[in-house]
Amino acid sequence: MLKLKKRTRNLIFYILLIILPFCHFLVFWVGVKFNAILLAFQSFDSGVPSWAGGETSWVGWANFKEVFHSIKHLQNWKIAISNSLLLFFWNNLLTVPPTLLVAYFVHKKARLGKVFKIVEYAPSMFAIIVKVLIYQYFLEEALPYFIGKITNETTMGFISNVATRKPSIWIYGIWIGLGGSLILYVNQMNAISTSIIEAAQLDGVTFWQEFWKITMPMCWSLFALQFIVSFTGLFGNQFNLLDFYGLDADSELHTVGYYMYTRMLLGGEAGYPVLSAMGLIITAVMLPIILWLRWWADKVDPMKN
Amino acid sequence: MEEKVETVEEVTETVEEVTETEKNPVEKMKKSRDVGGIIARILIYTFCIGHMLSLLIPFAWGFITTLKSPVDFRYNMFGLPKEWKFENYLTVLKHFTIEYKTVKYSQTFTYVDMMWNSISYACLAAFTSTMAQYFVAYAAAKFNFKFSKVLDAIVLFTMTIPIYGTAASELQMSFRLGVIGNFWMVAVVTQMSFLGMSYFIIQACVRGIPAAFAESAEIDGASNFTVLFHIYIPLTMNIIATLFFMDVIGLWNSYGVNLIQLPNRPVVAYGLWKFRETNIAEVSHVTIKLAGCFIQVLPVFVIFMIFHEKFMGSISLAEGIKE
Give residue B128's Cα distance to chain centre: 17
CA distance A304 to A298: 8
Summarize the confidence of residues A73-80 as an average pLDDT. Answer: 86
CA distance B18 to B3: 22
Q: Are residues B141 and B186 in the same domain?
A: yes
CA distance B151 to B194: 9
Q: Which residues of B touch A286 (CB under 8 A)?
A: 162, 164
Q: Hey, is the C-beta of A53 within 8 angstroms of any chain B C-beta?
A: no
Q: Hey, is the C-beta of A30 within 8 angstroms of any chain B C-beta?
A: no
B158 to chain A: nearest residue by CA?
A29
Q: How far off is chain A from B3, nearest CA to CA, in Å?
A: 30
Residue B220's CATH number: 1.10.3720.10
CB atoms within 10 A of CB A75: 9
CA distance B59 to A138: 9
Q: Hey, is the C-beta of A190 within 8 angstroms of any chain B C-beta?
A: yes
pLDDT tens readout for residues A18-75 = 999 999 999 999 999 999 999 999 988 766 666 666 778 899 999 999 999 988 888 8
Q: Hey, is the C-beta of A33 within 8 angstroms of any chain B C-beta?
A: yes
Interface contact flag, A202 B21, Cβ < 8 Å? yes
Q: How many Cβ pairs within 8 Å bridge chains A and B?
A: 284
Three-class SS of residue B76?
coil
Interface contact flag, B193 A25, Cβ < 8 Å? yes
pLDDT tens readout for residues B107-155 = 999 999 999 999 999 999 999 999 999 999 999 999 999 999 999 999 9
Q: What percent helix, strand, coil does chain A show, rounded to 5?
A: 75, 0, 20
CB B195 within 8 A of CB B155: yes
pLDDT at B318: 46
CB B121 within 8 A of CB B261: no
pLDDT at B52: 92
Q: How far off is chain B from A115, nearest CA to CA, in Å?
A: 9
Beta strands of chain B (E only): which ranges? Answer: 97-101, 106-110, 315-316, 320-321
* Residues B116, B121, B126: CA angle, nearest 5 degrees: 135
Q: Residue B84 domain-assigned?
A: no
Summarize the confidence of residues A160-183 as an average pLDDT. Answer: 88
Q: Are residues B36 and B124 in the same domain?
A: no
- B97-101 and A56-58 strand pairing: unpaired
B99 phi and psi angles, rounded to 5 deg: -105, 130
Q: How far off is chain A from B282, nearest CA to CA, in Å?
A: 18
B222 phi and psi angles, rounded to 5 deg: -70, 140
From B21, B169, B192, select the one nearest A33 (Cα to Cα).
B169
Summarize the confidence of residues A263-282 as an average pLDDT. Answer: 89
Q: Are residues B55 and B95 in the same domain?
A: no
Q: Are residues B59 and B136 in the same domain?
A: no
Q: Are residues B159 and B207 in the same domain?
A: yes
From B39, B83, B101, B166, select the one nearest A235 (Cα to Cα).
B166
Give CA separation, B98 vs A253, B107, B119, B290, in Å: 28, 8, 17, 17
Domain count of the fold of chain B: 2
CB B85 within 8 A of CB B287: yes
Q: Are residues B69 and B95 in the same domain?
A: no
Interface contact flag, B317 A125, Cβ < 8 Å? no
ipTM value = 0.84
CA distance A261 to A244: 15
> What are the boundaries of each domain within chain A?
78-267
pLDDT at B14: 55
Please tell me which of the candidates A24, A33, A39 has its beta carbon nearest to residue B163: A33
Three-class SS of residue B29?
helix
**DSSP 8-state assignment for residue A215:** I
pLDDT tens readout for residues A105-148 = 888 888 888 888 888 888 888 999 999 999 999 999 999 999 99
CA distance B278 to B96: 9
CA distance B98 to B283: 12
Q: Which residues of A touch B225 (CB under 8 A)?
A: 13
Q: Which residues of A touch B38 (CB under 8 A)?
A: 207
Q: Are residues B54 and B184 in the same domain?
A: no
CB B118 within 8 A of CB B104: no
What contacts B253, CB < 8 A, 6 or more positions away? A125, A126, A127, A128, A129, A130, B269, B300
pLDDT at A74: 81
Q: Are residues B230 and B279 in the same domain?
A: yes
Q: Are residues B180 and B245 in the same domain?
A: yes
Interface contact flag, B62 A137, Cβ < 8 Å? yes
Q: Residue B244 domain-assigned?
A: yes
Of the residues B75, B102, B126, the one at which a domain ends: B75
Q: Which residues of chain B have pLDDT under 50?
A: 1-5, 317-323
> What is the enclosing helix (H) or strand (E) of A82?
helix A75-107
Q: Residue B136 domain-assigned?
A: yes
Of the residues B24, B41, B75, the one at which a domain ends: B75
pLDDT tens readout for residues A231-271 = 988 888 888 999 999 988 999 999 999 999 998 888 878 88
Q: Are residues B30 and B117 in the same domain?
A: no
Q: Hey, is the C-beta of A76 within 8 angstroms of any chain B C-beta?
A: no
From B181, B198, B146, B231, select the one nearest B314 (Cα to Cα).
B198
* Burial (Cβ within 10 Å: 0-12, 13-18, ≥19) of residue B253: buried
Q: Are residues B65 and B111 in the same domain?
A: no
Between residues A217 and B278, the one the model is more confident about = A217
Interface contact flag, B32 A204, Cβ < 8 Å? yes
Please tell me which of the candidates B56, B151, B317 has its beta carbon nearest to residue A188: B317
Summarize the confidence of residues A75-82 as an average pLDDT. Answer: 89
Of the residues B23, B49, B75, the one at which a domain ends: B75
pLDDT at B26: 53
Residue type, A261: Y
Q: How far off is chain B from A55, nearest CA to CA, in Å?
A: 14
Domain that holds residue B70: 2-75
Class for domain A78-267, per CATH? mainly alpha
CA distance A80 to A237: 11
CB atoms within 10 A of CB A14: 19
Please tell me which of the candidates A105, A204, A221 has its beta carbon nearest to residue B44: A105
Interface contact flag, B162 A283, Cβ < 8 Å? yes
